[in-house]
C-alpha cells in the first residue's frame, strides 16, 4: 500500500447492519486496508437508498449478506490511500466509487466482460459500503470528479442517477421524439424524468399520486404531470401525445398496480421498463392480447461504470442539474432519522445523504 494521507486514523465510525437481528448501530471498527488494485476512499457523502432499506424490512434476500455489514452504496469522497499495483490515482483525488464489483470468476469475467458478470457483488450487501468514514473500492471502478462538481451531487451518481441513466439510455434506448411516461416520481423517477428530457423524449409525462411530487416533476422537466388515480388518465395521455399514447413507460415503483397501469398506456409496439423493485407479481394479460399488441417488457438493473463518467461530464457542463435532488443531510448517528423520513415520505425526499 502507498503511504496513506497523514490524517488516516487506525479506527473509524461505521453504521453496521446485523443480519440476525435486522438492526443497525454506529460502531468503532478498524479502518480497512486496500488490497491489490484497490483504493481507500475517505467518504464525503453517501446516499440513503430504498434498496438499503430492503435489508431492514427483509425484501432483500439476506442469506447472501454477511452477518455484519456496513450499508450505503451511493458514495463520493477523496482517495486516502492506494493498494499495491494501482496507478493513475493519487491521494486527495476526488472520486465516486462504483456501487458494485465483478466476481472475476464467472465466464463473462474470465473473458474480461465485467459489465455482464453473472454474480455481481453489490456494495453494502456483499461487502462493506460507505455509511462510514472510510470505504475500500476497486480502483478500476473509480470515477474522477472535477473540482467544480459538488461532492453532494456526485454521491447521487453511483445509483440514484446512474441507474435511471442506464434505464433510459441502454435498456429502453429512448430515441429523440419518443413519448415517455414515468410512474412514481420519487428518487429514481425524478431522475428518469430529467434524463428522458435530456435525450430528447417528447413529451415527458410524470404520473404520481401526490400533488406536491407532480409539481416537482414539472419543475425538473416533465411536460405534463397527471394523477395516477384519475379515471381520465388514458384520455389525458392520448391528448398529450396526439392520440399516440406512450412509446416508453418507466415503472419506478415496482408494484403490480404501477407496472400494469404503465403497460396499459403503451402504443402498439411500445415498451415498459421495470426499474422499481418489490416482491409483488405482475400480469401481462392473455398471450393473445399481448402478442397482438407487440408490446415489450424489459427488466432493468444498475448501470455501466462508464455511465458515471458521462454523468459527471453532464453535471460539469451544466447539462444536468441535480441541485434539487439533495433533500437533506444527516450524520452517521442520525441515519435512523433519515431512514424514517424516507420510509414515511416526509417532505417527499429525492435523496437524503449521510455525511460521516
pLDDT tens-digit series, residues 76-110: 999 999 999 999 999 999 999 998 888 888 998 88
Measured distance CA(124)–CA(72) in Å, rounded: 5
Residue 161 binned pLDDT confidence (cut-offs 50, 70, 90): very high
Q: Give CA separation, 3 vs 8, 41, 136, in Å.
A: 10, 13, 15
Measured distance CA(223)–CA(180) in Å, rounded: 10
Location of C-alpha cell 429523440: 176
What pLDDT is attached to residue 267? Answer: 96
Measured distance CA(210)–CA(197) in Å, rounded: 21
Q: Give 348 or 221, the one with higher predicted confidence.
A: 221
Measured distance CA(233)–CA(258) in Å, rounded: 13
For the chain, which domains are there? 11-160+304-355 (3.90.180.10), 173-299 (3.40.50.720)
Measured distance CA(233)–CA(219) in Å, rounded: 21
Residue 208 binned pLDDT confidence (cut-offs 50, 70, 90): very high
* Model confidence pLDDT, tens digit, residues 296-322: 999 998 888 899 999 999 999 999 999
Residue 117 binned pLDDT confidence (cut-offs 50, 70, 90): confident
* Model confidence pLDDT, tens digit, residues 118-132: 888 888 888 999 999
Measured distance CA(95)–CA(80) in Å, rounded: 11
Number of residues that make up the chain: 356
Measured distance CA(238)–CA(245) in Å, rounded: 5
Whether the per-residue pLDDT at 162 is higher than 90: the answer is yes
Q: What's the whole-number average pLDDT of the chain? A: 91
Which residue in 259, 271, 279, 265 sits closest to 296, CA to CA?
A: 271
Whether the per-residue pLDDT at 63 is higher than 60: the answer is no
Amino acid at each position: 500500500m502507498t503511504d496513506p494521507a497523514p490524517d488516516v486514523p487506525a479506527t473509524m465510525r461505521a453504521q453496521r447492519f446485523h443480519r440476525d437481528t435486522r438492526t443497525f448501530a454506529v460502531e468503532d471498527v478498524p479502518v480497512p486496508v486496500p488490497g491489490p488494485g484497490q483504493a481507500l476512499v475517505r467518504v464525503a457523502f453517501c446516499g440513503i437508498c430504498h434498496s438499503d432499506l430492503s435489508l431492514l424490512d427483509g425484501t432483500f434476500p439476506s442469506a447472501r449478506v454477511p452477518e455484519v455489514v456496513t450499508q450505503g452504496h451511493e458514495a463520493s469522497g477523496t482517495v486516502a490511500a492506494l493498494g499495491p499495483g494501482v496507478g493513475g490515482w493519487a491521494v486527495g483525488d476526488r472520486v465516486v466509487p462504483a456501487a458494485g464489483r465483478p466476481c472475476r470468476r464467472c465466464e463473462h469475467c474470465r473473458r474480461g466482460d465485467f459489465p455482464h458478470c453473472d454474480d455481481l457483488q453489490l456494495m453494502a450487501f456483499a461487502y462493506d459500503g460507505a455509511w462510514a468514514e472510510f470505504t475500500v473500492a476497486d480502483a478500476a471502478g473509480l470515477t474522477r470528479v472535477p473540482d467544480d462538481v459538488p461532492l453532494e451531487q456526485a454521491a447521487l451518481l453511483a445509483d440514484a442517477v446512474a441507474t435511471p441513466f442506464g434505464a433510459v439510455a441502454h435498456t429502453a434506448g429512448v430515441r429523440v421524439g419518443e413519448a415517455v411516461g414515468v410512474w412514481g416520481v420519487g428518487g429514481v423517477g425524478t431522475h428518469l424524468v430529467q434524463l428522458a428530457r435530456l435525450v430528447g423524449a417528447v413529451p415527458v409525462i410524470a404520473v404520481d399520486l401526490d400533488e406536491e411530487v407532480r409539481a416537482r416533476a414539472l419543475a425538473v422537466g416533465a411536460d405534463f404531470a397527471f394523477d395516477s388515480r384519475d379515471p381520465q388518465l388514458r384520455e389525458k395521455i392520448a391528448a398529450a401525445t396526439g392520440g399516440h399514447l406512450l412509446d416508453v413507460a418507466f415503472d419506478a415503483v415496482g408494484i403490480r398496480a404501477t407496472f400494469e397501469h404503465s403497460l396499459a398506456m403503451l402504443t402498439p409496439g411500445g415498451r415498459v421498463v421495470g426499474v422499481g423493485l418489490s416482491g409483488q407479481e405482475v400480469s401481462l394479460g392473455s398471450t393473445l392480447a399481448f402478442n397482438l399488441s407487440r408490446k415489450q417488457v424489459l427488466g432493468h438493473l444498475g448501470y455501466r461504470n462508464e455511465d458515471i463518467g458521462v454523468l459527471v461530464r453532464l453535471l460539469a457542463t451544466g447539462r444536468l442539474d441535480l441541485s434539487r435532488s439533495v433533500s437533506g443531510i444527516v450524520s452517521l448517528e442520525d441515519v435512523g432519522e433519515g431512514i424514517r423520513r424516507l420510509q414515511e415520505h416526509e417532505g417527499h425526499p429525492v435523496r437524503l445523504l449521510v455525511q460521516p
